[in-house]
Structure 1
């Protein structure tokens, strides 16, 4: 439908719902580097529109790496090579990064979430890079961080037992219990041997674990008296590592590939030096990761809502006389969803601005964003599915992203309970 055909519909409720959704996650008047942020957003959105549409995304996830390596290089490679240089946004300048804060990374996550672009961004820049920066020795940081900054190295965080949300402190206290194994089946054990370390065990649901050039593995070590969880590096760089078996597994969200990683007497390197506050570093990473995941979900929710609104407008234009009652009801649902998405956006924006960010703002923003994404995806499925256009617009992918992220990092009720627990909002009841 061209502009002339859409003009009579400009005053409809659906058009008014869709119009504000282009507002940025971090409002330019109050954000530092606002002009550069908007330039990053504009350039990234144009690139993703050209290279990360539904057809391109389906082709990318079907490939061996689960993402488009050329698009990854274009987005995250160094600016000297003509790329956008996004991989090093939050890395220290001394290692080739830009030294920026969470606002710029949240902007990137919002745009990649909007396109549902498959990439190692979450696994590499959000989950792994902060841990390498916080805990790595000077030699480890010098060897690894420049390669992350120029996007020549991708990473994955391997946590055993499907306990990623707990390890990151999102759904509970990661110091309570022994989620890394503790000698039980399903965990990962580390033993000192030959002047180094050896890993034994298995980690499932490792995001991008099948293709990452570096695995950061949470493993249990020490006897009863010195029982502790440490982080270990397993460097692969695409080569076979003795004792390491990586198997790509089916995932509900096709745009977030996962793997089961098995360690069979696998040589590893301790990250940092003992003693180190590994659990504290994981919790700090989890707080930031929750904000970035919320930004992704907000971007995806806004895109799903835009698509649903456009479909309603197209349906209205196709009718010569009047509109069906069902269309009016759909407009009302979209108006309600618009309010829900904007509330999630506001919470995420506040969490981005908080220094730290705060211990409860990230999980709370993530809970609201995932709920908003699930609701908008369900409505988009209902609208597109009713006329047979669901396959063309892929609304199912948005629903899969919401459900998959809640399984990995939730559930939503536990994210909220954790936020209440950290603030003491409900006292002993929350605990």
Structure 2
């Protein structure tokens, strides 16, 4: 990693102090309806301006939240949803939503109904086909024009929606146009105005710091994100771009969690066992260096983020296996397993990166 600037060091010091004082691992289910501390999030987003940070500085912030295993809307709101609103939204949507997101007043969630968020983001599969969102067949979410011609109505279900139980804004991938002319577009659902047709069921999940929900929509009013008619190719490109950035930030978070696990273990091991932890520390630092290389602008290549994430997931798994006391081992182990299920596994991330760069064909065989 390049030498940190004074601004970056100050961000790290301020955020670490804030998290060390206020962040707590979320029990399942959490003590608040949100599953995180809204006051802490207001300070992180409003006072520290996390949503306005450039990629390297935001990676640093994610590293610190990972170290603390701090539950917050940072991933669902700032990393996954806000970039899509910024990339695809109209000027009016930007003016209404982005300042509120940046100030921490509005939290968001991305609902991809196909069952694989990593596929929707192009991390583990080709998202230019409709398979990741149900392919226009049974299931998924369907969109139809409202009878009065004002907006759209959404009908269907999406599972494993991060922060979907509490977000004030849902960004829902839905099909429209019927089977023959099916297109997957993105729609805005303002949960405050959704009515009784919106049912959100929170699940405890494997990792209590990653709250997820099943979102059911029964003729829920929605607004198309962007201009109408929207180009589905623009949407898949924006999803893939958001996925590559998210991979960098998830890698930073995972390496931060791995460092947290090792820091806790150092006080509970013998001198001989410290040698084993030293070897693992070298692996964590290598993953961290790869992550910050991917975060640097202009970056070294579009696949550097997914490859950094694959490496970070591996080292987090190994570090979680060394964590002590048992409570820490359980916390970090749950995060490692949950992230591998949501955004990996590491082998699939590497295979997709190799396929995109031409090293492997679409079937996973070595290219000639």
Query: What's the CA shift for 1:288?
Result: 0.2
Query: What's the CA shift for 1:170?
Result: 0.1
CA distance in 1: counterparts of 2:343 and 2:366, whole angstroms: 19
User: Retained in 1: the 8 A contact 2:194–2:220?
Assistant: no
CA distance in 2: counterparts of 1:152 and 1:343, whole angstroms: 37
Query: What's the CA shift for 1:52?
Result: 1.2
The aligned residue for residue 429 of structure 1 is: 365
User: Retained in 1: the 8 A contact 2:185–2:230?
Assistant: no
The aligned residue for residue 419 of structure 1 is: 353
Which among 268, 280, 285 is matched to residue 337 of structure 1? 280
CA distance in 2: counterparts of 1:150 and 1:179, whole angstroms: 32
Which among 42, 45, 52 is matched to residue 88 of structure 1? 52
Q: Is 1:407 paired with 2:338? A: no
> Which deviations, in whole Å up to 9, do the C-alpha atoms of 1:92-146 show, x marking residues without a partner?
xxxxxxxxx2111111101101100000000000000100000000000000001
The aligned residue for residue 326 of structure 2 is: 390
Residue pairs, 1:33-72, within 5 angstroms = 34-54=5-25, 57-58=26-27, 61-72=30-41
2:289 counterpart SS class: helix
CA distance in 2: counterparts of 1:359 and 1:422, whole angstroms: 9
Residue pairs, 1:160-309, within 5 angstroms = 160-193=113-146, 194-195=148-149, 196-237=151-192, 241-273=195-227, 274-276=229-231, 277-309=234-266
Which deviates the most, 268-277 or 217-226? 217-226
User: Retained in 2: the 8 A contact 1:181–1:187?
Assistant: yes
Q: Is 1:105 paired with 2:58? A: yes
User: Retained in 1: the 8 A contact 2:120–2:239?
Assistant: yes
Query: What's the CA shift for 1:399?
Result: 1.0
Point out the structure with max Rg over C-alpha: 1
Which deviates the most, 345-354 or 204-213? 345-354
1:268 counterpart SS class: strand
Query: What's the CA shift for 1:154?
Result: 0.3
CA distance in 2: counterparts of 1:177 and 1:269, whole angstroms: 21
Change in Cα spacing, 1:430 to 1:45, as seen in structure 2 (3 Å) is farther
The aligned residue for residue 348 of structure 1 is: 291
> Which deviations, in whole Å up to 9, do the C-alpha atoms of 1:67-106 show, x marking residues without a partner?
00111111111xxxxx2222332xxxxxxxxxxx211111
CA distance in 1: counterparts of 2:19 and 2:337, whole angstroms: 23
CA distance in 2: counterparts of 1:288 and 1:356, whole angstroms: 11
> Which deviations, in whole Å up to 9, do the C-alpha atoms of 1:234-270 show, x marking residues without a partner?
0024x66231110101210100100000011111100
Instruction: Give the number of aligned pairs.
Output: 360
Q: Which ranges in structure 2 are unaligned for 5 or more consecutive residues?
A: none
Q: Which ranges in structure 1 are unaligned for 5 or more consecutive residues?
A: 1-24, 29-33, 78-82, 90-100, 317-326
Change in Cα spacing, 1:307 to 1:264, as seen in structure 2 (3 Å) is same
> Which deviations, in whole Å up to 9, do the C-alpha atoms of 1:199-257 show, x marking residues without a partner?
111000000000000000011111344321100000024x6623111010121010010
Q: Is 1:159 paired with 2:112? A: yes
Q: What is the TM-score normalised by the length of structure 2?
A: 0.93
Query: What's the CA shift for 1:411?
Result: 1.4
1:259 counterpart SS class: strand
Which deviates the most, 123-132 or 185-194? 185-194
